[in-house]
Structure 1
């Protein structure tokens, strides 16, 4: 099963980086080194979706994200970038997922993206998804000022070892796999070790059970060859909005919402790469469950 996951990880990375390219079953199967017949069954087994459903969902979710956060982009530019041939096809598919045509979604996005619904899970934990207001924009900005130190800065390239998780429930198991691997390489525990979560999907547009998050550890050198479920990931050097605070896990959603709001208020636009969190302490070692975190948004 681990070999299946390793190949699917490679395939998912390829899909996400080539949403406007040839994503036929034959081409994707070639990337995964499986026959089309076997690949289709394995992909659904691992992800819970057919290949075409996954591709279509990713295109629509990425389109929704950029409709909301990059208001200066024309709708046509967005749908062409994500491989839709014309506005009619894009609008019909988009409406199927979000209940609104793209233009209406863009108008309501500021409201929709600053909503939250807390649902009680079976184990009593709070799962965070978007559906009702967390607070007004004014309160969000005040909360940001009080709880996050925000700056725009240049950050260097970061070489990571990563383990993929599909669905929020898989993040902790992914970190367990990563830490076991890091211990075997004498990379953990050590002083000033940096653990990083890279968000390849947004909870704003992707269901929590399908969101893709990479559990990562910062390396001194690039990991050249995948090792089991552990693979290489690189965060390119560039400009980032960095919000730093000592927060609890329950504060994370509010941190991200307020940081994106700060980005828009200060007229920055997000680059087409992935936001991430850098952890400087462990919440399990704090009496109030707090941890020091950098919330990082890549910008132009």
Structure 2
């Protein structure tokens, strides 16, 4: 007796593309994390393919298709961008020490690659640190003033104005600055988290990512009451907007299984400079810039290599009536 023919649904089951895509992202994000943790080392293709559980013969092509750049280009970009950040945050380290710390064989090789990427030398980049920070903060406030008021003759001719003075004379800036001076050095414990990664421009895209992807996942796993962390891995003044990475992290137990949508990692503990933030979510980048510009240079502290993050409660961070967002800005620090 011949078996009955399978129905079309049985013969060609519809693939769950959402699950497959999430699994690809989860595996490849493990590779990105590994690269960031080993920027000073040789990154062997076989080892990275093993971490991702992909065939080593096809991994390079899979990576390039997913990231939009080759594995070599990605690693080179991350080394240079991290070195650029270190040049501005660790003024005590020599340029040669930074070059060697991020996998460059010599100061000359580093300088050549840096010039190609940023169109200036490492020493010029370090020397103009404060000018870039002022321009970034001032630019944000200038844009806000333009949106919220009638354009004056001065604002209609931005080349004739002093952006630094506009920023520092603005009442909201001064209020912001005063709040951010209330910074405490706190010893934070290491935290076990599950995370999902967003890649793209910071701002509205991150807000939508939490609302549309992370929040439903938290609901499904009963994590609504857990403490959350937001980690922007890249400096948008250095990294192209579409390459910026952001991790939405939720505290979970050690034995937690996140399924296919998330990865697990540990946020390192230690000393952090912690400041309270309360305001529109669109002001968060300004707050980070002011914290780096105003507090750190006068504190006798400097950033170390651990990630900065925002810490907040999913239940109480956003006031639905006012739209105000509350969180702690946490900067990993060490002595100068």
When normalised by structure 1's length, the TM-score is 0.86
1:224 Cα deviation from its structure 2 partner: 5.1
Q: Deviations over 1:174-218 (max 9, x none)?
A: 433332222222222x3xx32210122222321221111101112
Instruction: Say yes or no: does 1:201 pair with 2:237.
Output: no
- Give the match for residue 243 of structure 2: 210
Counting matched residue pairs gives 285
Alpha-carbon spacing, 1:26–1:147, altered in 2? closer, same or farther (3 Å)? closer
Structure 2 equivalent of residue 72 of structure 1: 92
- Provide the secondary structure at the position in 1 that maps to 2:34: helix
Structure-2-length-normalised TM-score = 0.77
- Unpaired segments ≥5 residues, structure 1: 125-131
- Which residue of structure 1 lines up, in the alignment, with residue 260 of structure 2? 228
Match of 1:179 in 2: 215
Give the structure with higher Rg (CA).
2
User: Residue 114 in 1 paired to residue 150 in 2?
Assistant: no
Match of 2:3 in 1: none
SS in 2 for 1:239: strand
**Higher strand residue share:** 1
1:162 matches 2:195: yes
Tell me the distance in 2 between the aligned counterparts of 1:211 and 1:57: 12
Cα gap change, 1:10/1:269 in structure 2, threshold over 3 Å: closer, same or farther?
Answer: same
1:46 matched to which residue of 2?
Answer: 66
Matches of residues 227-266 of structure 1 in structure 2 within 5 Å? 227-261=259-293, 262-266=295-299
Asked if 2 retains the 8 angstrom alpha-carbon contact of 1:114 and 1:133, the reply is no
By how many angstroms is 1:35 displaced?
A: 2.4
1:142-161 pair list within 5 angstroms? 143-146=176-179, 149-161=182-194
The CA deviation at 1:73 is 0.5
SS of 1:232's equivalent in the other structure is strand
Query: Aligned-residue CA RMSD in angstroms?
Result: 2.6
From the two aligned structures, give the one with the greater helix fraction. Answer: 2
Report matched runs for 1:76-155 at 5 Å: 76-116=96-136, 117=139, 135=164, 143-146=176-179, 149-155=182-188
**Structure 2, unpaired ranges of 5+:** 1-20, 148-160
Asked whether the equivalents of residues 180 and 291 of structure 2 are also in contact (C-alpha less than 8 Å), the reply is no
Q: Matched residues in 2 for 1:194 and 1:40: separation?
A: 37
